[in-house]
Amino acid sequence: MASLNRKRIRLGNHDLPFQLVLLAFGIVTFFPLVLVIITSFKSNTQFYHNFWLPELPLHFGNYSSALRIIWRYIVNSVLYSGSTICLIAMIASVAGYVFARFIFPFKTALFLGFITLIMVPGVLTLAPRFVLVRDLGLVNTPGALISVWVSGGLVLSTWLMRSYFESLPQELFDAAYVDGAAEWQVFIYVSVPLARPMIATVAMTTLISTWNDLIWPLVTITDKDKMPLAMGLMQFSSDFETDWGTLFAGYVISSIPLLCVFAVAMRQFISGLTSGSIKA
């Protein structure tokens, strides 16, 4: 016991430098973001006068002028990413459930066929996808983004949902069958409520990948008022090129939605993602 205690204490002393390393990491990580916040309150004169320290007075006006432009892009992104998430959540939970719980010919072959294509980089299909979307008359419409985002995100999402449904104990389902539940009832009243954590994870991976996707909107969207945020920020950057305060205020505003979502649900996101994909 005594020796064990001594070990604990030694460990404790060892940990002090580690904590310092952690702090250093933290500062390096956060400093650029703090710089953005500091700059967002500056006028141009203040910005050129002192590049990286805060300076009074604070210019809150930057935020209102940035918001006037940025809100449009945020609304667009919420709509586009929101519809994508809903569609993916529905399709992937049904497909994942079927792949996990049904036995039917070619099941494994079908599933493996889908999964191997996860390696295919999205950019590979950029050219033919554009031609396809153009032929369908979807260029410069939300449909161009949503259709491609949904089909692109479905693979990982179905994979995650399938591994989750597979991990649920058989007794849960047996109990429901014994009570006379039909398959669709088991799905809606038993499986989906149980899978809520994994659905949340799916929603968040989809949110990250669609919210920050730049290259596909760049190819398909041309109207300013239809741009999603990631692309709108690019437009915004060239519109406000010389107005640093407003530019950075816009960046701060644009970061808030995702930060809020992840502040609330991060632990959930990580555990779902890793338990689903790593154990598979």
Partner 1 sequence: MFGRGRKIAPYLFISPFFIGYAIFFLYPVIQSLQLSFYRQVGLNKAPRFIGFDNYVRLVTKDDLFIKALTNTTYYALGSILIIVPLALLLALILHSPKLRLREFFRFLYFTPNITAGVVVGIIFGLVFEEQYGLINNLLLAPLGIDNVRWLREARWVMPAVILLGAWKWTGINAIYFMVGLQNIPPELKEAARVDGATRWQVFWHVTLPLLRPILAFVLTIAIIGSYNLFAEPAILVGLEGGPNNAGMTMTMYLYTRGFRELKMGYASAIGYSLAVIILVLSVVQLVLIRAFRED
41 in Cβ contact with 59 (< 8 Å): yes
Q: How many residues bind partner 1 (CB under 8 A)?
A: 86
Binding characters for partner 1, 249-268, by CB under 8 A (x = yes): --x--xx--xx--xx--xx-
Q: State the DSSP code for 267.
A: H
Residues 48-77 that bind partner 1 (CB under 8 A): 51-52
Measured from the CB of residue 211, what is the shortest distance to partner 1 in angstroms?
A: 8
**57 cis-preceded (ω within 30 degrees of 0):** yes
Could you say whether residue 15 binds partner 1 (CB under 8 A)?
A: yes
Which CB sits closer to partner 1, 168 or 208? Answer: 208
Which CB sits closer to partner 1, 120 or 175? Answer: 120
Measured from the CB of residue 230, what is the shortest distance to partner 1 in angstroms?
A: 5
Measured from the CB of residue 270, what is the shortest distance to partner 1 in angstroms?
A: 5
Residues 100-159 that bind partner 1 (CB under 8 A): 102, 104, 107, 110, 114, 117, 119-132, 134, 147-148, 150-152, 154-155, 158
73 in Cβ contact with 236 (< 8 Å): yes
Beta carbons within 10 angstroms of residue 227's beta carbon: 22
Residues 74-93 that bind partner 1 (CB under 8 A): 91-92
Could you say whether residue 26 binds partner 1 (CB under 8 A)?
A: yes
What is the identity of the amino acid at 256? Answer: I
Q: State the DSSP code for 191.
A: I
Q: What is d(CA 224, CA 274) in angstroms, rounded to the nearest whole number?
A: 38
Sign of torsion over alpha carbons 46, 47, 52, 58: positive
35 in Cβ contact with 52 (< 8 Å): yes
Binding part of the chain for partner 1, among 59-67, 164-172, 195-203, 213-221 by CB under 8 A, reads 213-221
